Structures are given as C-alpha cells and as structure tokens.
Amino acid sequence: SVTNAISGIIVVGALLQLTIPNLAVQILAGLAVTLASINIFGGFAVTRRMLKMFTKGGK
C-alpha cells in the first residue's frame, strides 16, 4: 500500500542519516527506523488479516 511505501522511504532516509556524526540526529534517525518498521510490519499484518476474510472458509 501507499503507507508502506512511504514508511519504506522513511526507513531508507533515516538509515542514511545514521552516518551523520551528530548524536541528536542519530537518535531521531534510530527512532524513525524503529517506528517506520513497526508501521510496515503492522500494515502487512492488517493486510493479511483483511485478505484472509475473503478466502473460502474464513479461517
């Protein structure tokens, strides 16, 4: 989905920022990677549950 794509871009950008020798930037970049990763994996989980509702049998 679009949200997962945006979160993926955030992860890539934040990983690039981790190389900057500024502690505040590194902390914020690490936080961005963590939160965006949670969002990506949560999005996949919700999508899987939604698709499961449309399969025969429902379980």
Q: Quick check: 41 and 11 in contact, CB under 8 A?
A: no
Q: Quick check: 6 and 42 in contact, CB under 8 A?
A: no
Selection from 58, 5, 13, 53 nearest residue 31 by Cα: 13
Matching residue, tokens 């920022």: 17
Tell me how far apart the alpha carbons of residues 59 and 50 are, in angstroms, rounded to a whole number.
12
Give the pLDDT of the chain (59 residues) as one tens digit per residue: 788 889 999 999 999 999 999 999 999 999 999 999 999 999 888 888 888 888 876 55
Residue 36 makes CB contacts below 8 A (sequence gap 6+) with: 7, 8, 10, 11, 14
Share of the chain above pLDDT 90, in %: 61
